[in-house]
């Protein structure tokens, strides 16, 4: 088993957000510290309370929220502590923001403030047309050039009723990839 590590789990506004609860639970089961950071849109799909219960840590939604007793802003303290940032699910919007250095919420600000040795894994989840759009593909290329790893998306029935590529990969495969990245 990999040594105990600190993982930031970023959750964005996708129907696949409910799967983040399972990711957090499994990573905790392997003994890792998991801190969840959600976009405001993600809270429409899953509650911070669910993730707080499973991670056993407060969930960050507001980038201006202060950690209890901390002198550093939460987004900086968490970015300093992280060994890995996992964005699962990752929307086209967040992939674009990360590709272009836009830091306008807690998740994207933490991503920009990560230590250089911290790794990033992105698990996209969106409609096929959005994933295959040249802008999204260009943004993914930019991130890959910077060493960001992607897992998925995969083909299948999408929540919108379409059949095609865009489903977030299976949670167990994502957790396995995370564990390999932490070795």
Contacts of 134 (CB under 8 A, 6+ apart): none
- Angle among Cα 27, 32, 35 to the nearest 5 degrees reads 80
User: Which residue, among 104, 115, 120, 123, has the nearest Cα to 23 in the 3D structure?
Assistant: 123
Query: What are the residues facing 63 on neighbouring strands?
Result: none
Residue length, the chain?
Answer: 183
Q: Is 36 a catalytic residue?
A: no
- The catalytic position among 76, 132, 159, 160 is 160
Do residues 75 and 63 lie in contact, with contact meaning Cβ atoms separated by under 8 Å? yes
Residue 167's φ and ψ, nearest 5 degrees, are -70, 140
- Angle among Cα 14, 66, 17 to the nearest 5 degrees reads 10
Active site residues: 160
């Amino acid at each position: 088993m990999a040594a105990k590590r600190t993982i930031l789990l970023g959750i964005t506004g996708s129907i696949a957000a409910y799967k983040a609860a399972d990711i957090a639970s499994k990573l905790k089961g392997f003994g890792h510290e998991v801190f969840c950071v959600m976009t405001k849109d993600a809270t429409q799909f899953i509650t911070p309370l669910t993730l707080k219960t499973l991670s056993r840590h407060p969930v960050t939604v507001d980038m201006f929220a202060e950690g209890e007793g901390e002198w550093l802003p939460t987004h900086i303290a968490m970015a300093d502590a992280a060994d890995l940032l996992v964005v699962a699910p990752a929307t086209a919007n967040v992939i674009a923001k990360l590709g272009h250095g836009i830091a306008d919420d807690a998740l994207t600000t933490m991503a920009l403030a990560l230590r250089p040795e911290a790794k990033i894994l992105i698990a996209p989840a969106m409609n096929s047309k959005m994933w295959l759009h040249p802008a999204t593909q260009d943004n993914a290329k930019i991130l890959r050039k910077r060493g960001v790893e992607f897992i998925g998306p995969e083909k299948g029935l999408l929540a919108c009723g379409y059949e095609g590529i865009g489903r977030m990969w299976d949670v167990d495969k994502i957790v396995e990839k995370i564990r390999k990245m932490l070795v």
